[in-house]
Structures are given as structure tokens and as C-alpha cells.
């Protein structure tokens, strides 16, 4: 049973795992959310590499406690791959206006947050080993978004690193990634915050400011 003091400690453990293989490689870390930035910082420090953030917003099916998919900072919508085509078609028919409005609102929210600077310039990721870092993965939605986002990028190798993931997610990760670095796999994943004693994270705005400062340093 593995719990972490905080996300920085989890990131330090992952950094030790990744150091030997990637210290001298051309690596870029893509953090999958605010908590993931905190996990990523010790890794980027040890590997002396690019750290950036993929911003996305989930779109939920009303009243179902079910993710329909997510919108990324490019405005691209990615369906939740756990839904089959029949379910997607059914939800689209039943909630068409509502879901389209949610997608628009999600994209507007992302644009308000990141302002003109944007977060990831895909050109900076070309020909790198990309390490997708999460602070915890209960489902595959954010991974689906990341894979769609990276489609136009020539990636040397795709690595996924996370302190804790659910059993269901591991199966999907084996299909999409060249290499996994996972500290703990949970059969009954509760929620990500549950696995950290401390959950005092910077706000989304603070995280984005921090990432933009990091990007300015290596442009």
C-alpha cells in the first residue's frame, strides 16, 4: 500500500527511476494537469529538460457521473475511449445542444486561463523523447487528449510516468506508450488526492504562470 507525503516526494521517486535512462537524452516532459506540474519539477530538475503543461477541460454527460471526453488547449475534442461508438452516438443524440455548449465553454475557459502566451509549442517537442507525467490516473481521458495532441509531433519515444494509477489505465498505457514508470497500481482507485498526505497545490493560474516562466527560460 503506497502513499506519498506530497507530490514533490512522488516526483523525486520517479526522478530516481528515470535518471539513468534519460539524463543525457533529448527529453521533454508534458505535465498532464496542475498536480502533475508539481510531480514533474523534480524530474525536470534531475534530467535538465523541458517541462511544459497540457491544459484540458473535461466534458461530462449530465447526471451520469461519466466523462464524455475532454477539450485540449488547441480546441480539439477527444472522446472518452472507455465509451463505445453506440454510447457516444446515444449521448450525442440525447444531449447534443448541451454537450456542444459544454465544449465551447471548456475551450473559452482554457483560453481565459492561458491568455495569449499559450502553453505548449508543438515545435519545441519535435524529435524528443516525451515523458507524459501525471500525479495520478483513474481513467484514460487525459491520456487520450495527450495522444491526440501529440499526433502531429515526431516523437522519438513515448514514456508515461505516474506515482499511482488504476488497473484499468495500466492496460491502456501498455498499448499507447513505449515505456511505463509507475510506482503503484490500485485495483480500487479512490481519487488522486487520497494518495497524498498533503494536497496544498498552487492555483491553476499560479501553475500556468510558473510554466510560462520555465518556457521563457529555454526558448
Pure H helices in 23-140: 34-47, 85-114
When pLDDT is cut at 50, 70 and 90, the band that residue 179 belongs to is: very high
Angle at 168 between CA 83 and CA 22, to 5 degrees: 115
Strands across the sheet containing 56-61: 56-61, 66-72, 77-79
Phi, psi (deg, nearest 5) at residue 142: -65, -30
Residue 219, pLDDT score = 47
182/191 Cα distance (integer angstroms)? 16
In the predicted structure, residue 82 carries a pLDDT above the cut 80: yes
In the predicted structure, residue 97 carries a pLDDT above the cut 80: yes
Strands across the sheet containing 155-166: 50-53, 27-31, 128-133, 155-166, 179-186
Q: Domains plus CATH for the chain?
A: 7-54+119-218 (3.40.50.2020), 60-114 (no CATH)
Amino acid at each position: 500500500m503506497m502513499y506519498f507525503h506530497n507530490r514533490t516526494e512522488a516526483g523525486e521517486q520517479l526522478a530516481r527511476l528515470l535518471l539513468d535512462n534519460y539524463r543525457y537524452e533529448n527529453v521533454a516532459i508534458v505535465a498532464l494537469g496542475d498536480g502533475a506540474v508539481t510531480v514533474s519539477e523534480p524530474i525536470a530538475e534531475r534530467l535538465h529538460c523541458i517541462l511544459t503543461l497540457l491544459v484540458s477541460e473535461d466534458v461530462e454527460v449530465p447526471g451520469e457521473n461519466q466523462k464524455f471526453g475532454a477539450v485540449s488547449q488547441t480546441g480539439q475534442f477527444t472522446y472518452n475511449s472507455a465509451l463505445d461508438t453506440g454510447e457516444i452516438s446515444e449521448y450525442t443524440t440525447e444531449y447534443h445542444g448541451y454537450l456542444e455548449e459544454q465544449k465551447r465553454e471548456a475551450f473559452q475557459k482554457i483560453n481565459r486561463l492561458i491568455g495569449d502566451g499559450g502553453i505548449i509549442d508543438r515545435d519545441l517537442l519535435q524529435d524528443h523523447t516525451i515523458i507524459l507525467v501525471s500525479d495520478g490516473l483513474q481513467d484514460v481521458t487525459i491520456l487520450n487528449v495527450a495522444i491526440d495532441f501529440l499526433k502531429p509531433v515526431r516523437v522519438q519515444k513515448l514514456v508515461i510516468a505516474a506515482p499511482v494509477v488504476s488497473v484499468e489505465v495500466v492496460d491502456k498505457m501498455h498499448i499507447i506508450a513505449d515505456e511505463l514508470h509507475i510506482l503503484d497500481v490500485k485495483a480500487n482507485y479512490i481519487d488522486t488526492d487520497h494518495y497524498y498526505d498533503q494536497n496544498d497545490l498552487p492555483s491553476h493560474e499560479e501553475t500556468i504562470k510558473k510554466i510560462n516562466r520555465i518556457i521563457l527560460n529555454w526558448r
